[in-house]
Structure 1
């Protein structure tokens, strides 16, 4: 049953982990949804110029610019939609843009007409913001503080798994194929899998009000907000990103993570800058390469390492944002802001590339932005991450073990700097 102001904040502890209202299960299902949609999309875009022929690079650049520009806007405003309709509807609708985009590329590859592909890019951009806002909400709000890194890890692992499976399917179909285009069977399989993802969300994603931890506690007391309230709160969220006074163990873990991410980025950027500077001239036509050609392995290794580096950045930023609050309505906004701003960065990257600078110049710009971002991450971790946010936010229901550790026998928080009275303590009395 949904939790209300008059309900108890706890329920009878469930006897099994295999249940739909288990937050771990909901995160797993969410991972399947993004694996079957965004993961397959990544496999599709890895086929060449946006999934089309090598000569269709213009369509890839145009459609991706449209897609990520709308992704940015959609991500920024999707939290209001999520808070109004919940993660089930948000993700189910968001997924629908992916089969439309794949279908548009299919139509372009078959007919040479680009209108459907551009329409699909519009719908995918809007839908991606909804999908990842919903997915981010689940990984941020459903996890206990000690589990947030694990929830983020599993979603990204399943996203990558979807891309890998899609790539394996394509590789198997194309193994003996010499024609430079995508077979109809690949498009058909991808569209079917992406459509299935929407049905998966509609069938198995449930309301966050019905989520129950294994100790019997709910996540929070939920209160719907209006669209006006959602828009007004955006400036406050941005200010909150750089406003905190607490020091704790999580801060140290965060700094270690930032240092690791910085070291990985600097090493790979130096290697790629050297490669582009020495071996690639954009003013000259480069050779077409297949996976069996000499020299392909070196490029692929660098590409794979950058994929790992991207995961480090995504994981680190999401861990930081997830560590700044436990309130579901706040975390839904963080999720939307993260994906929207990430998409804006991709859009800017396409805009830079459209001017056709040398690749080492592009890499230099990206490297400079990486360095700025590293200092920003370090600042936010040091000044904004607390050891725990439980008992400090109204409406958030802490796990029983956390309450036992933080609340003394008289119902007063054991935090000697702040004596927080909590609804949990009142219930104990």
Structure 2
């Protein structure tokens, strides 16, 4: 059954141009506008679908990781699994954009989602056979799958929407996706509610995660190829049908010399680097098991609020797209500084060698309130920071083919930073050192992203993408 209403342009065969298989000139030239955003091949529905896929898979994974130690009393197995995960993720995040252009969304997303089920299952196994081997191997396999899924997600989220509403669509995706973390946080909270002294979560918690992840894998098959997605103005997201491995290999290598990508590197590195600190050394160190689950409900709920807030600012605060981007970065910079400052104030109260044995419970009143608000604010900042970076990436181009590579590069660098951060924690780096490193990485990112907007983002909706990845001549002349 053709749920997408057929090819967007109707008619015309495929032909090869410049190493890519494209549709004939008729495809992508839709004669009439279609303002029904609820049609199946609309960007609104397709971005919503990828949000639901990520609700079920990465959303549940976030809830699992957010408990600290994967829900185990000893975080060693989880830390090593996450290091393996982000090491392979770093490689396949970069390669994922090219793989997506070759295989399309169905195979890329389904393969990626399936690895999440295996990862949750490995912790179920670990509950009965506490040996790290399976958990670490599952983490490495998940890194491959996550690289595929997030490259596809990045391409869909940044290329499908109209250029002047990318912030709105990003916030919509982020809200749906993080609802998975909210629901996922309720699973361990409810299933372990009466186990106030428990060290590890029960089997039902992991089984619940596996059920949701399996649903996400099946749901990924509903995502349409970008050539079949039609915006309200009649334009398609790309004319590409299938790419070639050689073409993608060359284009991926070019990313490492692309000045735009180099300016994004610090933000990409920072954007997952703080998870090991927040999950293990704040949530895991200060709160008991059931409260960690409850905290995650609000951590991921805060992400929904943060993404909606920053998405609105970056789409509607000014008429000029460049001004909106700069204003959004300034807002995130100010709030980020305040939140990390609050983290510093709390971190002065405890160290790795003096973590309180009597963990906080959500019924502890004012003693619970302060650390809880801090953890909530960390979730708020995470969503605002990452939504801001995705908006900047989406503003660099409109075509799915280009943005799949950009998103893959972003996720690859992000995952390399995450792999190192989990080993930093595993090697018992002082909590204060981790906090300062996270704060500095975020702070360095803001002026570089602002420079990227000034140099590359134009108020003209047409993409300024340069084939060789060099700054536009008009920009270069301004600096001479």
Counterpart position of 1:399:
none
Counterpart position of 1:233:
251
Are 2:157 and 1:157 equivalent residues in the alignment?
no
**Displacement of 1:190 after TM fit?**
1.1
User: 2:396–2:463: 8 Å Cα contact kept in structure 1?
Assistant: no
Counterpart position of 1:195:
214
Counterpart position of 2:453:
381
Q: Which one of the candidate residues 190, 200, 204 is aligned to 1:181?
A: 200
Distance 2:33 2:102 in 1: 29
**Displacement of 1:392 after TM fit?**
5.9
**Displacement of 1:136 after TM fit?**
0.8
TM-score under structure 2 length normalisation: 0.76
Are 2:120 and 1:120 equivalent residues in the alignment?
no
**Displacement of 1:181 after TM fit?**
2.1
Counterpart position of 1:281:
351
Are 2:268 and 1:268 equivalent residues in the alignment?
no
> 1:115/1:393 Cα in 2 relative to 1: closer, same or farther (>3 Å)?
closer
* 1:331-342 matches, cutoff 5 A: 331-342=403-414
* 1:202-221 matches, cutoff 5 A: 202=221, 204-221=222-239
Distance 1:357 1:48 in 2: 16
User: 2:397–2:464: 8 Å Cα contact kept in structure 1?
Assistant: no
**Displacement of 1:198 after TM fit?**
0.7
Counterpart position of 1:421:
none
1:17-76 Cα offsets, whole Å, 9 max, x none, are: 333211110100000000000111111122331122x1x211111111111111111110
**Displacement of 1:138 after TM fit?**
0.7
Q: Which one of the candidate residues 114, 117, 120 is aligned to 1:99?
A: 117
Distance 1:171 1:280 in 2: 25
Distance 1:25 1:331 in 2: 19
**Displacement of 1:6 after TM fit?**
3.9
* 1:342-381 matches, cutoff 5 A: 342-381=414-453
Q: Between Structure 1 and Structure 2, how many residues are aligned?
A: 389
Are 2:152 and 1:131 equivalent residues in the alignment?
no
Structure 2, unmatched stretches of 5+, are: 1-5, 10-22, 264-318, 467-473, 475-480
1:105-159 Cα offsets, whole Å, 9 max, x none, are: 1100122122221121011111111111111111111011111111111111112
Are 2:105 and 1:87 equivalent residues in the alignment?
yes
User: 1:209–1:222: 8 Å Cα contact kept in structure 2?
Assistant: yes
**Displacement of 1:242 after TM fit?**
6.9
Give secondary structure in 2 for the equivalent of 1:283: helix
**Displacement of 1:13 after TM fit?**
4.5
Counterpart position of 2:127:
109
The structure that has the greater radius of gyration is 1
Counterpart position of 1:36:
56
Distance 1:208 1:106 in 2: 37
Give secondary structure in 2 for the equivalent of 1:214: coil
Q: Which one of the candidate residues 361, 364, 370 is aligned to 1:293?
A: 364
> 1:318/1:392 Cα in 2 relative to 1: closer, same or farther (>3 Å)?
closer
> 1:391/1:82 Cα in 2 relative to 1: closer, same or farther (>3 Å)?
closer
RMSD: 2.3
